[in-house]
Amino acid sequence: MLISRRQCPPDTPSPTILLGGRPVPLQTSISILGVEVNSVLTFTDHIRTIARKAAWKFSCVRRVSHLLDSQGITTLYAAQVCSLMEYAPLTWSSCPPSYVSLLDKVQARAQRLIRLKALQDQLLPPLQPLQQRRDVAGLCVVYKTHKQHVPHLAALRQPWEDHTATPHELLLPGTIN
């Protein structure tokens, strides 16, 4: 895979890499631990794949929903669909809102199905919004980086800069004559 910061890769031919005398084909993306990264370091292919898989898994939940009550649907949705949508949440921070809305639509369909199967007087626990889950995951990484000093996140830690105030910054507004 040729990694470039350009939106369109350069027209220069890439060198042929041989492994055991056979050429290794150039790939447009790779999958590492279930996260797909393309050559311009965006997660758009990964996001589309996850949205498609989540919609497919939810359709499976919907097909068996006539056998379950609202609590059973909630449990099955959380185990099969939410786990897929909440894996590697920091990849979603760089994507446009149109891609995030694909997952929000799946969750909205799940909430409608759960409400439909609930009894009239049954109190339903609300599903946490996916954006809130993504924000919490990002904050957890920041906390682990700066407070817990987790070794594998040490490269993300930025040194603190002490800011020394100049005399002009120490003057309060309205005190200058």
Q: Is 2 helix (H, G, I), strand (E, B) or coil?
A: coil
Beta bridge pairs of residue 42: none
* pLDDT tens for each residue of 158-169: 777 776 766 666
DSSP string, 4-73: -SSSS--SSPPPPEEETTEEEPP-SEEEETTEEEETTS--HHHHHHHHHHHHHHHHHHHHTGGGS-HHHH
Contact predicate 103/130, CB 8 Å: yes
The set of residues, in sequence order, having a beta carbon less than 8 Å from that of 27 and lying 6+ positions away, is: 1
pLDDT at residue 172 in the model: 61
d(CA 103, CA 129): 10
* pLDDT tens for each residue of 60-94: 999 999 999 888 999 999 999 998 988 888 787 77
Assess whether pLDDT exceeds 60 at residue 176: no
* pLDDT tens for each residue of 110-138: 999 998 888 777 777 778 888 888 888 88
